[in-house]
Structure 1
């Protein structure tokens, strides 16, 4: 009965979430339903298991949600994201329109700009560029997805994406875990994606297909759609309803001023992770008043926080005159972090209840016994949970909370570098989360004025097949050579 309750609760959670119901309501309800089927006290699980673990996730990661959303909003309203997209367009021109869109998205998201901020700023420019180059509108979502939601989210060393931060407390790693494997995975995703999109563009030209007649959808209209908002808030770290808030500058900064805050994120993150924190005497963290923790458990999060804070200060110094409504912009950025953080935390709470129910022992034993070793088991667990929840961060956290300790024990006994576990887990979570119901997919299609029928196949190829190929390569190389 316990296993049946888990399956029923999960099915209801998935079905109702993608009918537009709030995860804040569904997750505790589904958790209590699973507890009832297991014959355990539902209220005790709600207040003592669900809330304790959900609150732990917020305590651990909300600062990253907050600074990430704030930085993204400031970059958008200062005109910096637009300036970067314009720079890529002018540099590469309409003959390389596809590459320009992909690289613009990659540049801003690797520099710390939230995904939905990138969507709402880059999509209109991508559509205009595709219109000029007479490339079909239906290919624009896949190009944006490749640049913003694949290798810069899960593989590129040091990426400040929340997904890359989640494994750090579990495995004691940094944002630069397994940098060589991450770079190889990034090259596979980017190379495969560009090959596919180039092939699709050439086929469209050969068939005489041009840009098309679809209508551009105002960003404000998409951001205010409640169904888009509920799905998007589970999928990523920015509440799209806050995107139109504040006031965007009419005066774009120079390319150097636009790019400098992104460079600050990367450089400070690298400096903190590889130079400062390893030399930091943080023995005091073992004291009870600091949670009896260690620098290995919190250092990775600290590195990203300092990097984002330094970039925000840099951006404000360079662009304070281009932010005519600074308070409104900062309020919108702060507010944009709340709903996504609580939505993912609710999924974490649901997963924590499921993980302690008797029926989950069957699932745990099955996952850990999968042939191919712990890397394959970890990849499968994160893949499946990210697909079911429609959230890379939610699926990844649930998997690591339920099984992270087991994988760490296996790694210790087998001599596997935790950095390898980190990279496999993150790439694994960034594959099957890009299913048709995913909030990022729904939002991106809406912003581009495209539909699933015309655009989803190309999104799936660059967002699922490419990352899966990269994941297979990382597992094979990791088994042969370890982490590097």
Structure 2
């Protein structure tokens, strides 16, 4: 009976969390409220004095999950957000996006938006910042092409959090978290990752382009709003090739400190082993310096950009921490442990079990990074002991985390649809869901299949 109540409570808490976020409740409130429901239905004490000796309690468990993720990843969020803001203030992000648009053309406006997001994301700009940077240009493109603007969130999300975010070599944290648990590097399983990324990019674009064309055929058109023209579309921008330098610097330095032993000068200064996730700190710092130099013409805007970046980093990471805290409490429930045991004891390939576990946990928490942070400490030792290849496990976990995490309560989805684009879930989420849930699930299945035959 206790297990049944716990299962009902866990499912109800997830439904409540999704409902509250769709209704616009701040995730910093929705997260602990939903976690409290899990605690209440799982027999977890509310406060430390009410818990038995050695027993967990809601307040401590929630805050341990919240602050643990904050401590592990705040520097990366901070530097990533500031880097993105500096790229925006200098005009570099807009210049790169304009360059992509100019090469692809207005006839392929959807592809141009997706490509601009992909280049910025793989260049190290935080996914939260990419949306803000590309949105004004997306509005310009969709207006020129007379396409319904409700698909802008889908284009932004698809270009940011699918085939780029979880691919080998990506400096996004969703590709870095498995490193500390599996002893891998950011390029783990790159051969399969390349195939899967190309598949997801092609399939997603085909689906998005088809959705837009069908909507236009039904008579949907672009609808202007006040403030659409208040953008940086016509400002003086640095040369796009020059603006690619910060992105190249981030990727180059990131790779350099991932493989310091490959460069004698670096290996003579630093330990021979990879710096792991800390390589991103070095890379973003160097990239930020390049972006500041490129933006000297806009140096008066830099202090405000640094301030916005710092504030944005706190907002972005605390939103993620809120769902990590929910996941930390959920992981204490009997229903969670029963599901985890069932997954760990699945017969067959450990990659399948890992994929299912991370997908489900990321869906429960509404966060790819949160799902990995909760799942990997519990699952990695067991699957490695079963003989799973660390590189294959890394890539499987990374791709799996980017599927069900994009349910309606995901912090990035809420931010992109509502705060950036001013749309509603009713209008925008169907496209977002297809592109950021179904497409990565297809990619995950293909990745597991390829690992099984290579």
TM above 0.5:
yes
Deviation at 1:202, TM superposition (A): 4.7
Within-5 A mapping of 1:49-128: 49-128=61-140
**In structure 1, distance between residues paired with 2:410 and 2:325:** 20
**Residue 390 of structure 2 aligns with which residue?**
418
The counterpart of 1:265, out of the listed 250, 254, 265, is: 250
Does the C-alpha gap of structure 1 residues 216 and 276 become closer, same or farther in structure 2, counting only changes over 3 Å? farther
Deviation at 1:454, TM superposition (A): 4.8
Deviation at 1:314, TM superposition (A): 1.4
Does the C-alpha gap of structure 1 residues 330 and 130 become closer, same or farther in structure 2, counting only changes over 3 Å? same
The counterpart of 1:251, out of the listed 209, 233, 236, is: 236
Deviation at 1:276, TM superposition (A): 4.5
Contact 1:176 1:273 survives alignment (8 Å)? no
**Residue 9 of structure 2 aligns with which residue?**
8
**Residue 161 of structure 1 aligns with which residue?**
172
Q: Over residues 308-353 of structure 1, what are the superposed CA-to-partner deviations in whole Å (9 max), with x where a residue is unaligned?
A: 1110111112223313132221111112111332332343334334
Q: Over residues 103-156 of structure 1, what are the superposed CA-to-partner deviations in whole Å (9 max), with x where a residue is unaligned?
A: 11111111112223222232221222232233343433333222122111112x
Contact 1:115 1:149 survives alignment (8 Å)? yes
SS in 2 for 1:427: helix
The farther-off stretch of 263-272 and 354-363 is 354-363
Root-mean-square deviation over aligned CA pairs: 3.3
**In structure 2, distance between residues paired with 1:377 and 1:135:** 42
**Residue 453 of structure 2 aligns with which residue?**
480
Deviation at 1:89, TM superposition (A): 1.6
Contact 1:14 1:389 survives alignment (8 Å)? no
The counterpart of 1:140, out of the listed 152, 155, 160, is: 152
**Residue 382 of structure 2 aligns with which residue?**
409
**In structure 2, distance between residues paired with 1:21 and 1:199:** 33
The farther-off stretch of 108-117 and 381-390 is 381-390
**Residue 54 of structure 2 aligns with which residue?**
none
- Could you tell me the TM-score, scaled by structure 1's length? 0.80
**In structure 1, distance between residues paired with 2:278 and 2:273:** 9
Deviation at 1:14, TM superposition (A): 4.4
**In structure 2, distance between residues paired with 1:197 and 1:29:** 35
Deviation at 1:260, TM superposition (A): 0.7
Does the C-alpha gap of structure 1 residues 171 and 256 become closer, same or farther in structure 2, counting only changes over 3 Å? same
- Could you tell me the TM-score, scaled by structure 2's length? 0.85
**In structure 2, distance between residues paired with 1:33 and 1:91:** 52
Contact 1:188 1:466 survives alignment (8 Å)? no
Contact 2:260 2:270 survives alignment (8 Å)? no
**Residue 364 of structure 1 aligns with which residue?**
340
**In structure 1, distance between residues paired with 2:174 and 2:226:** 29
Structure 2 gap segments, 5+ residues each? 49-56
The farther-off stretch of 260-269 and 392-401 is 392-401
The farther-off stretch of 25-34 and 188-197 is 25-34
**Residue 291 of structure 1 aligns with which residue?**
none
Contact 1:97 1:130 survives alignment (8 Å)? yes
Contact 1:28 1:350 survives alignment (8 Å)? yes
Structure 1 gap segments, 5+ residues each? 222-243, 285-293
The farther-off stretch of 301-310 and 360-369 is 360-369
Q: Provide the aligned length of Structure 1 versus Structure 2.
A: 439
Contact 1:5 1:33 survives alignment (8 Å)? no
Deviation at 1:412, TM superposition (A): 3.0
**Residue 307 of structure 1 aligns with which residue?**
283
SS in 2 for 1:252: coil
Q: Over residues 11-33 of structure 1, what are the superposed CA-to-partner deviations in whole Å (9 max), with x where a residue is unaligned?
A: 45444454444444554565565
**In structure 2, distance between residues paired with 1:453 and 1:13:** 17
Contact 1:83 1:255 survives alignment (8 Å)? yes
SS in 2 for 1:160: coil
